[in-house]
């Protein structure tokens, strides 16, 4: 026959495991609610996330002329950033001077 200590141990064990299970379920529920609210906030901004990937909603359509203009702007920015063709980037004439070792050789031969 089980005495009161055995029954108390049984109920304490059930309470501990029940508390752990409740905590895990609460944590999973709060994480899933956080993910759902984040998805909803991103959907309001135009990003739709699903298990297949991310889709972006834009309010503007680009035609061929818009793409050509953007490409030309990119080329112009790249040319302006390049160092060739600018007057300020022309090579400076570097003055020639003898090194210490060549000066020592000249002094020995003199």
Contacts of 56 (CB under 8 A, 6+ apart): 46, 47, 48
Residue 20: its pLDDT value, please?
A: 98
pLDDT at 100: 65
Is the pLDDT at 85 greater than 60, yes or no? no
pTM: 0.45
Q: Quick one: which of 38, 70, 39, 33 has its CA closest to 55?
A: 39
- d(CA 72, CA 66) in angstroms, rounded, equals 10
Written as six digits, the tokens of 94 are 């570097």
Summarised one tens digit per residue, pLDDT across range 7-49 is: 999 999 999 999 999 999 999 999 999 999 998 998 888 888 8
Stretch 89-104: mean pLDDT, rounded? 58
**Is the per-residue pLDDT at 72 higher than 70?**
yes
Give the pLDDT of residue 105: 57
Tell me the C-alpha distance between 4 and 89, whole Å: 94
């Amino acid at each position: 026959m089980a005495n009161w200590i055995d029954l108390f141990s049984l109920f304490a064990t059930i309470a501990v495991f029940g508390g752990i299970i409740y905590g895990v379920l609460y944590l999973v529920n709060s994480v899933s609610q956080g993910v759902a609210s984040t998805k909803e906030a991103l959907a309001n901004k135009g990003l739709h996330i699903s298990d297949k990937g991310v889709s972006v909603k834009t309010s503007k359509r680009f035609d061929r002329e818009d793409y050509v203009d953007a490409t030309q702007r990119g080329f112009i920015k790249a040319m302006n950033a390049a160092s060739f063709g600018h007057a300020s980037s022309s090579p400076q004439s570097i003055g020639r001077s003898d090194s210490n070792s060549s000066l020592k050789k000249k002094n020995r031969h003199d």
